[in-house]
């Protein structure tokens, strides 16, 4: 079950992130806690091995990081986590959701494309491995705006 996460979950969020990303790309507990302390930032966690960290402000939301551990991939967890994140962002007043993804991350690009995200920009050689960052956008519909706090799937 996907549920909201707060600063008390920083270590669990970081553990999922470290398993999903290698080396310097992984965010530690301090980075998670620091982000969660910022206004408008929210997180979701799935005990099966997924997490998302996002920020909503001024009618827009941005996915800061999104991770599913390798053992939980290709089972619908990413899709469910993304749907819960969309609902939470919309409930917080966001009409548009943005994110950046590596041009080399085919699995994530497939997930986001299937969800309706479209590329609106590119940051050349943005990542340490030289990959471009694709800037993606997804309009959020009013139908996605449930009562806040109903992130679970």
For residues 127 and 101, the answer to whether their CB atoms sit within 8 Å is no
pLDDT, one tens digit per residue, over 73-94 is 999 999 999 999 999 999 999 9
Cβ count within 10 A of residue 70: 9
Domain boundary assignment for the chain: 3-144
Look up the pTM and report it: 0.89
For 3-144, CATH number out of 3.40.630.30, 3.40.50.150, 3.30.300.130, 3.40.50.2300 equals: 3.40.630.30
For residues 44 and 51, the answer to whether their CB atoms sit within 8 Å is yes
pLDDT of residue 153: 45
pLDDT of residue 78: 94
Does the pLDDT of residue 150 top 70, yes or no? no
- In the block, tokens 């950046």 appear at 100
Q: What length is written for the chain?
A: 153
pLDDT of residue 129: 87
pLDDT, one tens digit per residue, over 127-148 is 888 999 999 999 997 655 555 6
Taken in order 71, 75, 79, 83, is the CA torsion positive or negative? Answer: negative
């Amino acid at each position: 079950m996907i549920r909201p996460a707060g600063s008390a979950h920083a270590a669990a969020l970081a553990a999922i992130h470290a398993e999903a990303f290698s080396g310097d790309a992984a965010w530690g507990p301090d980075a998670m806690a620091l982000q969660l302390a910022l206004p408008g930032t929210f997180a979701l966690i799935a005990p099966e091995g997924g997490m998302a960290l996002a920020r909503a402000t001024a009618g827009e939301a941005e996915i800061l990081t999104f991770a599913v551990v390798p053992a939980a991939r290709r089972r619908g967890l990413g899709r469910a986590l993304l749907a819960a994140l969309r609902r939470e962002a919309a409930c917080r007043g966001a009409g548009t959701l943005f994110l950046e993804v590596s041009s080399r991350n085919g699995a994530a690009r497939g997930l986001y494309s299937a969800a309706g995200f479209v590329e609106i920009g590119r940051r050349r050689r943005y990542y340490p491995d030289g990959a471009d960052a694709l800037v993606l956008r997804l309009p959020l519909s009013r139908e996605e705006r449930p009562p806040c706090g109903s992130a679970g799937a």
